[in-house]
Structures are given as C-alpha cells and as structure tokens.
Structure 1
Amino acid sequence: MLAYGGGSIKGNGVYEEVMEALKEAEKEVVEFSGIMPNPTYAKVQEGAALAK
C-alpha cells in the first residue's frame, strides 16, 4: 500500500520515483491518498479495509 496525503508527493517527483521502483520490483500497489495530518478514526479504518 502506498499511503500519502495531498498533492505534494506528486508535485515534487517522489510519487513517480516510488511508483517506478515498485513497478521494477514487480510489486502490486494499492494507493491510499488523501490522508490528513492526525487522521480521523474513520480514515484509519478506511486504510485498514484497503489493506485487507
């Protein structure tokens, strides 16, 4: 799972680097975006459901 917050990860190039490395390693990726600082319990549960 690639978990991240807002758009800065895509704006600064980190997203592309990480996705390329995972692709080269032939890893399946599930993205979980929109995580805010101090996420709510509901947001944590949403991530847990994706992980399952």
Structure 2
Amino acid sequence: MFEPLTRKFTDWRLRRIAIRKLHTLDDRLLNDVGTSRDDIACFVAAAADC
C-alpha cells in the first residue's frame, strides 16, 4: 500500500543527496561532468528521468 509513496520519497531523497554532492564540486569538475552550478538541479532531474 505504501510502496509507491515510499519509492517517491526515496527517489526524492537520492536526488537531494546528488544535488548536495554536486554543489561541493568546483566549476572545472562540473564542466567536465557536463553541467554548470546553475543547472545542477535540472541535470539531476534529467538523469532521474532516464
């Protein structure tokens, strides 16, 4: 019964962790990954949709 809700919460939590970790990288490393500091949230959201 609660599996869909639990899954959504877990996915949200993992995205927040990824965003926090990406914010710790410097701009050169972010550029190597293929994003910029301003686009981190969109970058993580796009990766979650794949």
TM-score range, shorter chain: 0.3 to 0.5
Q: Report the TM-score when normalising by structure 2.
A: 0.36
Q: Report the TM-score when normalising by structure 1.
A: 0.35
Higher relative contact order (CA 8 A, sep 6+): 1
Q: Which has the higher helix share?
A: 2
